[in-house]
Structure 1
Amino acid sequence: MSEKGQQEDVLHALYSCPKLEELWSLNPLWNHSSLKQTTSFLDLIGNIFTENRDPTFFPIVWALWKRSNDLRIGKACGTLGQLFSQAKDRLREFAMHNTTMTSAMQRTLAQWTPPDNEHYKINFDGALFQADNCAGIGVVIRNGCGQVMASLSQQIPLPLTVIEVEALVARRALILVQEISFTRVVLEGDSQTLITALKTGSHTLAHFGHIAQDIRYLASSFSDVSYTHVRRQCNTVAHSLARRAILSPFLQVWMEDVPLELVDVLQADFQSLD
């Protein structure tokens, strides 16, 4: 799929090549305009994970890779249009054979859980407002009883990538905790790429590597810090705070509370504890 003899990278081969635009446009979550800020395949995967986009994306990527290899050896291949339906069929077949396990996992992961009584849990999330060239960050800190210690909503300039937004929020979350003087914390977000990088100390993701280093430096000042990944359903308060940032260009912090319009979202987490 390379053009004019240019060396082809993974992002071009599996996603950004103009010949694949018809395939990726079959789902608006994946089309080239929706993910136009993606600059590497690793960033693309991080974007997909961060936004919890349609999981059919991954079997399609695998099928594209296999199709490319088959074409190189002259093996007969189906059309690009067939890959989409084939990927959905594979995902449906997998789900049928794993219904029990999937249901159990969803029950476990689809609700917010409090930390133990010796720690405070910090949930964080980001939101993109590309039309306004800005992003929103949201942070909420709660104790072992689920009570809010502080919450934050802030509008920031639009970073280059989604993963940078998540990293900036995590850094701001730890700064907020420092200001409140909590020392034993759990940092929890729905970006698996970022949480994995923080757990492993990876420096391979150049787009946010310097921010991850800042986060680890801040974390070194606490007596105990751990990182956990959850699905978006378990991170709704932080997500709502991030979305709220579009309403004001100023930093807003609420001590032992959340904005009035988010009380129902907070109460939903309390109900999940019953």
Structure 2
Amino acid sequence: MKLVNGGGRPHLEEKWVKPQNGVLKCNIDVVLFTGQRKVGCGAVVRDSEGMVVAAMCGQVGRVADPSMAELLSLRELLSWVKREGWKEMEFEIDAQMVFLAVTGVQKDESIFGVVVGDCRQLLKDVSSSSMRFVR
């Protein structure tokens, strides 16, 4: 991300950055249709050349809370990555609260915390993985 001055008004310019050689990057996004309480999720996996290796999309049931929707979607996508057997992964997610919960160390006994624990375990199951928050 870099600061660009266009027409006298600075703005942030975001650009996708290739992962290191031999590493796959998974960009994750979620949409919540609040009126219907439906959640859609999707991911694109690219290699170090930026070529699409795989993509997936799906629905994650009926959830009203945006953070829980993001978290359940992340768990579904991490399960997909595990089933595919990919080991060297970078994950990019735009849900800051979920990112902080999953990458943090606090223990939470709520339902949210249980799903956070599932996501943490799935990340460990991918032998070499990292996660970044992106806008």
TM-score (norm 1): 0.43
- Cα deviation, 1:44-100, whole Å, max 9, x if unaligned, reads xxxxxxxxxxxxxxxxxxxxxxxxxxxxxxxxxxxxxxxxxxxxxxxxxxxxxxx98
Amino acid at match of 1:180: E
Give the C-alpha shift of residue 207 in structure 1.
5.4
**Contact between 1:197 and 1:203, CA under 8 Å: does it hold in 2?**
no
Deviations 1:218-239 (A, max 9, x none): 12212211110111xxxxxxxx
1:116 correspondence with 2:116: no
* CA distance in 1 between partners of 2:75 and 2:44 (Å): 13
**Cα contact 2:41–2:73 (8 A) shared by 1:** yes
Structure exhibiting the larger radius of gyration computed from Cα positions: 1
Match of 2:106 among 168, 190, 202: 202
- Give the structure 1 partner of residue 40 of structure 2: 136
TM-score w.r.t. the length of structure 2 is: 0.83
Alignment: residue pair count: 129
Q: 1:139 and 1:227 mapped to 2: Cα distance? A: 14
2:56 is matched by which residue type in structure 1? L
For 1:221 and 1:156, locate their aligned partners in 2 and report how far apart those are by CA, in whole Å: 22
AA matched with 1:199? T
Pairing 1:169–2:73 present: yes
Partner AA of 2:30 in structure 1: G
Higher helix share: 1
Query: Take 2:10 and 2:114, find their aligned partners in 1: how far apart are those partners?
Result: 38
Distance in structure 2 (CA, Å) of the matches to 1:186 and 1:116: 9
Q: Secondary structure at the match of 2:86?
A: coil
SS of structure 2 residue aligned to 1:220: helix
CA distance, structure 2, for counterparts of residue 124 and residue 148 of structure 1: 14
Amino acid corresponding to residue 100 of structure 2 in structure 1: T
Hey, what does 1:147 align to over in structure 2? 51
1:33 is matched with none
Deviation at 1:148, TM superposition (A): 1.1
- The 1:118/1:205 distance shift into structure 2, 3 A limit, reads farther
* Aligned residues of 1:198 and 1:227 also touching (Cα < 8 A): no
Q: Identical aligned pairs, as a percentage?
A: 26
Structure 2: which amino acid aligns with 1:181?
G
1:161 shift after superposition: 1.0
Shift of 1:132: 2.5
123, 127, 132: which one aligns with 1:219: 123
User: Cα RMSD between the aligned structures?
Assistant: 2.3
Post-superposition CA distance 1:229-260 (Å, at most 9, x none):
111xxxxxxxxxxxxxxxxxxxxxxxxxxxxx
